[in-house]
Structure 1
Amino acid sequence: MVSAHVLMLPFPCQGHVIPMMELSHSLVEHGIKVTFVNTEFNHARVLQALPNKGSDLKGINLVSIPDGLRPGEDRNDLGLLIEGFTKVMPGYLEELIRENNEKGEEKIKWLIADENMGWSFAVAKKMGVRTACFWPASAACLTIMLLIPKLIEDRVLDEKGWPARDEVLQIAPKMPPIHSSQLSWNEAGDPKGQPTIFKLVTDNNKNIELAEIIVCNSFYEIESGAYTLFPKILPIGPLLPDLKFSKSLGLFWPEDTTCMKWLDKQPPKSVVYVAFGSFTIFSEAQFKELAHGLELTGRPFLWVVRPDFTTGLSKEWVDQFLEMNKEKGRIISWAPQQQVLAHESVACFMSHCGWNSTLEGLRNGLPFLCWPYFVDQFYNQSYICNVWRNGLKMEADESGIVSRARVRDKVEELIANEEIARRVQELKELAWKNLSEGGTSCENLKNFVNLMRE
């Protein structure tokens, strides 16, 4: 029996849709009806990529509203995307809630919105809907955003969010140090979009006060410093909708599940898994260096290469490379990543350090080779390399390229590091402790579900 109807609103990017879909499945398991709101552009991608026509989405209704951009406009330009959706989505969200609640069907009782969509809390309040805030990244990243007024007051930042001083910041004990030049809102692509992004961040600092509760996809032991500063942020992660990995997660690309049979044929702890998320772009030169570096390791590798991952690289070159490495290498366009990371043949994870990937690798006891691209990924790298000590940093040479020799050497250094292997196992155990009955995250999730039922 359905006990409540919840509206879910993610920021319109893949790394934000996935954890909110994971949370949606958890809510459905507890008898809560979910209406999941994507932009029209992302909604079409999700429907196209859904396996089995979405048969595993029972209890989750997928709907869409416009994002304010024209067909063909670059939705990977975060400044442009934010500028578009902040103009049009509030009106469409209000209309969606009104239409649902006037139909005589079960009324929407709660809005659970991504903190990055903080404008939606005022819309919900206007419509008599209660509000909860979901943060999909690290609690430490949110903590730094909430401290922006103090950073400006202390003259670490100027009024526009740019560094006023060149220094390494230690926000709190047990939080990674961060350089003033690598704050997430200043690492989001074209600097021309920074004013729009920074305005969204500062507006959200005010809007978050309208939410009754803030939950995040993390767990206490790995971020205790952040929770000490802001105890109102409640960890409910690492989110895991089911142990069989059978639930659809709102992916924008179809998964190539044939790689699982290939993994089955590889020796235990032998495969280098390489995946850089939904935004990372490589130059042709860097792509080739990484390819040859993987070849030099002599190890089997599974590499996720999106259709838009690089430009200027000929299909003939890739085909020739794969032919030369057909016994060892596999390139696919999108992976069933949670299944891959849980496979016994995977030895390590070469990653962009997006927060979802970070938690998934941590939960599965894998060491990391860190290769961040933008926003909070540099800070997640600091967690991995400096605080948790479960991975190594990939370093570029003076030309800005990570060479093939460096790729080979770092893979071997990582896999041979016994201290990292020990830390990896400890972190895996902590993650599963939180997922299990009586764990802090498990109990917080139960309390959150009970709140949704009120």
Structure 2
Amino acid sequence: MNVAPHILAIPFPAQGHVMPLMELAQKIAKHGFKVTFVNTEFNHSRVVNALSKNDDFGDGIRLVSVPDGLEPWEDRTDLGKLSESMLRVIPGKLEEIIQNVKNDVDDDNITCIIADSGVGWALEIAVKFSLTPVIFFPAAAAILAINLSIPKMLENGIIESDGTITKNQIIQLSPAMPAMDTKTFVWACFGDSATNKIMFEICMNCNTSAKLAKWILCNSSYELEPAVFTSLPEMLPIGPLSASNKLGDKPGSFWPEDLACLSWLDQQPDCSVIYVAYGSFTVFDQTQFQELALGLELTNRPFLWVVRPDMTDNTNDVYPEGFKERIGSRGKMVSWTSQVKVLRHPAIACFLSHCGWNSTSEGVSNGVPFLCWPYFADQLFNQTYICDVWKVGLRCDKDDTGVVNKGEIKNKIDQLLGDSNFKARAMNLKEKVVNSVSEDGSSNKNLSNFIKCLKKLH
């Protein structure tokens, strides 16, 4: 009997973590593997409800769900509380899944666990059941490098034992790596000290899981972060996974995708549209939301704006009075869309983005310049890559009241689109990134070698 290698894939329960791990699962499944993909019950229902009739996760992928330990009405954007709750509940449920598969005579035993770094504790379960332990890091490799440097930073007094930054300073983890501002460390950017401390513990746990892992897979490429991968050869760049996604279909979305905007884009001139999207977490108060709307209006350029139902802290119509009537067909607002398909469209001129790593890698994979507006976590460091290292974007600066005002938005867009060097550098970076995932590219070879090794282990 021919037994297929069987993998248990476990993402951290956030949109920006579920989708890249699903992309990896699809690539692995195409090589004859079975993949059991574990979402929380809350996110599982969102993914299933968002599916269209044409969506297909592919042969070999089975979706299962586990409770996250929170009540249905509790806030799952509180990542600290969510992480603590998951750790109490999910490990036991994963052990049940592994045991149930083992007891099923018609199924192939699970042989490997691929766990998102945010749930790195799952590798302890892999070791317990003698399964191959693999970490998947969906963000920039530089962020993992920061996590792995925590013991040294503690020793040098740069941070305290709870992750508190002793003083804001610029450091370099190695001479070739980009300079890092300590106030942009991932765990220091969540807005309240309690959440910061919980997220610091998660980052600390990266060290433990990295030591357990047989492989550390990164959704990045040598071409994007050469200094990091040179300094830390144990990290294996296999991305950006979205760059090799020929159709742009990305099952795993939490919201139904509005694809009608693609027809609207078809009607716009090439390189004319401002694409505005802030990911799955960003929330604006009414003042900031209205300044953004008025700034887009002031540009007098066409724009496509993704406005999630939960994007503002006000459930009423928060657009400025008369805004929709004044912009008419020049602007289009959608609740969610296929970002890869949008960014590949020739009408897109630039990307006003929160700088999440998925958005960052999707933008650079398509040669799109950025206007950066980070919200939290790794987004602040990704802005450093975009503006200071790759030089394919500009920052949005806040005024004295902490608001990015309408004049700033208009001026920065005019500056970005008025300088052809940004587009030229973006297209040059695109060529490097696309080459990395081509048949002979470094990321594609790494992924192929990883899959071959898994088969041999099996």
Given the two structures, how large is their TM-score scaled by the length of structure 1? 0.97
Matched with 1:243 is: 246
CA distance in 2, matches of 1:242, 1:29: 13
In the TM superposition, what is the alpha-carbon distance from 1:174 to its structure 2 partner? 4.2
CA shift digits 1:31-63 (9 cap, x unpaired): 222111000110011010011174343321110
Provide structure 2 residue ranges, at least 5 long, that are not aligned to the other structure.
none
Q: Note closer, same or farther for the CA distance 1:316–1:286 as it changes in structure 2 (3 Å cut).
A: closer
1:392, 1:414 within 8 Å by CA — same for their partners in 2?
Answer: yes
Pairs within 5 Å for 1:383-398: 383-398=385-400
Amino acid across the alignment from 1:420 = F
Pairs within 5 Å for 1:46-125: 46-52=47-53, 54-104=55-105, 105-125=107-127
Q: Note closer, same or farther for the CA distance 1:172–1:128 as it changes in structure 2 (3 Å cut).
A: same
CA shift digits 1:260-306 (9 cap, x unpaired): 11001111000000000000111101111110111111111000011
From 326, 330, 344, the equivalent of 2:328 is: 326
With 167-176 and 105-114 compared, the bigger mean Cα shift is at 167-176
CA distance in 2, matches of 1:7, 1:14: 19
In the TM superposition, what is the alpha-carbon distance from 1:416 to its structure 2 partner? 1.4
- Secondary structure of 2:355's match? coil
CA distance in 2, matches of 1:19, 1:404: 33
Matched with 1:161 is: 163
CA shift digits 1:154-181 (9 cap, x unpaired): 1111111111122111222443322222
CA distance in 2, matches of 1:220, 1:67: 35
Give the count of matched residue pairs: 453
In the TM superposition, what is the alpha-carbon distance from 1:3 to its structure 2 partner? 3.6
1:215, 1:236 within 8 Å by CA — same for their partners in 2?
Answer: yes
1:2, 1:32 within 8 Å by CA — same for their partners in 2?
Answer: no
Identity across the alignment (%): 45
In the TM superposition, what is the alpha-carbon distance from 1:320 to its structure 2 partner? 3.9
- Secondary structure of 2:151's match? helix
CA distance in 1, matches of 2:318, 2:290: 13
Q: Note closer, same or farther for the CA distance 1:347–1:96 as it changes in structure 2 (3 Å cut).
A: same
CA distance in 1, matches of 2:321, 2:4: 53
Given the two structures, how large is their TM-score scaled by the length of structure 2? 0.96
Provide structure 1 residue ranges, at least 5 long, that are not aligned to the other structure.
none
Matched with 1:277 is: 279
Matched with 1:17 is: 18
Residue 441 (structure 2) pairs with residue 403 (structure 1): no
1:302, 1:329 within 8 Å by CA — same for their partners in 2?
Answer: yes
| RMSD, matched Cα | 1.5
Matched with 2:270 is: 268
2:3, 2:108 within 8 Å by CA — same for their partners in 1?
Answer: no
Amino acid across the alignment from 2:68 = D
Matched with 1:419 is: 421
From 341, 348, 371, the equivalent of 2:350 is: 348
Amino acid across the alignment from 1:70 = E
Pairs within 5 Å for 1:288-303: 288-303=290-305
Amino acid across the alignment from 1:311 = D
Q: Note closer, same or farther for the CA distance 1:41–1:410 as it changes in structure 2 (3 Å cut).
A: same
Which 4+ residue blocks in structure 1 deviate beyond 6 angstroms? none
With 51-60 and 412-421 compared, the bigger mean Cα shift is at 51-60
Q: Note closer, same or farther for the CA distance 1:353–1:244 as it changes in structure 2 (3 Å cut).
A: same
1:227, 1:233 within 8 Å by CA — same for their partners in 2?
Answer: yes
- Secondary structure of 1:315's match? coil
CA distance in 2, matches of 1:265, 1:89: 48
From 245, 253, 256, the equivalent of 2:255 is: 253
